[in-house]
Amino acid sequence: MASTPFVAPPRLFPNQRLSCAIPFSFSTPLIPCKLNPKPITLSCKNRYNQRSSFSRICASMADQVSTQTLNPKNVQIFDNGEDLSVALAKYTADLSQKCVGKRGTFSVVFSGGSLFNSLKKLVEPPYVDSVDWAKWHVFWLDERVVLKDHADSNYKLAYDNFLSKVPIPPGQVYAINDTLSAEGAADDYEACLKHLVEAKVLDLSTTTGFPRFDLLLVGMGPDGHVASLFPGHHLLSENQRWVTFIKDSPKPPPERITFTCPVINSASNIAMVITGSSKAEPVRRALGGDDENTDLLPVQMVAPKEGETTWFLDKGAASKL
């Protein structure tokens, strides 16, 4: 794509919604890209998928093949965050190109936290000029119930570090309605997704009946939470709603909205983007197997029914594997 000047949205933090989407599953090659400084690449399944020993899984090539066919989990481990960011940029740009080529759109779901540090190479050359940003439709996996210009807002984080740097049409950026309560914002976001399904902008998974996004970019907290689904919280068992709310989040701020587990597990592709040694134990529990705990961590429940999960870890996050 030719480099076009970015036209700022009409308002700094517009309450945007409208059109979008696409679904289908494609296998990301595990061959490191030219720029990619050769990550360690593993393929495995976690306990949620009834697998127990990481070493056994990695020992068997045949097992890897059947694992990839059934419900693949590709694990890439990088020396540092910089190398991870290079690989994540290529992965995302390649996926965008495939999805746009297939259906004409690319539906991407952002988390908050340190994700945008890991995405920084995607908004630099060559990708800032080559990705077909006009085809992107952007959603949030979870959002804090604060105004969009508040320091805690995941929208603001995404805007400052990503959206302000690339020409995604503002009408294809689906921020929450920040004038509503947590309950109201969750209802409103779910209604927005349902409208997009009716408008054939988003597809439903034929397997689960929940919306199927092209790519979820998922961070994880040191406690193993993903989205705003926290360990031991009753929201983990929500299986009807697409979007729900929490008012007692153990991580501040307390009021948030979040996609539910079935929506997460209906995605075509999930990138688990995890850095730092403080995350090593939940990563081990998710990928290492042999977990004696009876309660699954939220990260252990990430198991897309039809899609593919790719793990982008730095050495710290992978240090207990």
Ligand X SMILES: O=C(O)[C@H](O)[C@@H](O)[C@H](O)[C@H](O)COP(=O)(O)O
Footprint of ligand X (CB under 6 A): 111-114, 142, 144, 154, 219-221, 227, 251
Q: Which residues, at least 6 apart from 146, have a Cβ–Cβ distance to it below 8 Å?
A: 152, 153, 178, 253
Tally of CA atoms within 13 A in the half-sphere of 59 that contains its CB: 4
Shortest distance in whole angstroms from residue 65 CB to ligand X? 32
Shortest distance in whole angstroms from residue 126 CB to ligand X? 26
Give me the sign of the Cα torsion angle 22, 24, 28, 29. Answer: negative
Shortest distance in whole angstroms from residue 42 CB to ligand X? 21
Q: Which is nearer to ligand X, 196 or 227 (CB)?
A: 227
Task: For strands 142-144 and 73-78, give the pairing.
Answer: unpaired
Q: What tokens does 66 get?
A: 């059947």
| N- to C-terminal Cα separation, the chain | 40
Q: Which is nearer to ligand X, 171 or 316 (CB)?
A: 316
Torsion from C-alpha of 36, 37, 38, 43, nearest 10 degrees: -60
Q: Which is nearer to ligand X, 242 or 259 (CB)?
A: 259
Q: Give the C-alpha separation, 180 to 185, whole Å.
A: 5
Q: Which is nearer to ligand X, 101 or 254 (CB)?
A: 254
Shortest distance in whole angstroms from residue 152 CB to ligand X? 8
Shortest distance in whole angstroms from residue 118 CB to ligand X? 8
Shortest distance in whole angstroms from residue 242 CB to ligand X? 17
User: Residue 105 corresponds to which amino acid?
Assistant: T
Q: Which is nearer to ligand X, 114 or 208 (CB)?
A: 114
Q: Which is nearer to ligand X, 83 or 142 (CB)?
A: 142
Helices (runs of H) and strands (runs of E) counted in the chain: 9, 12
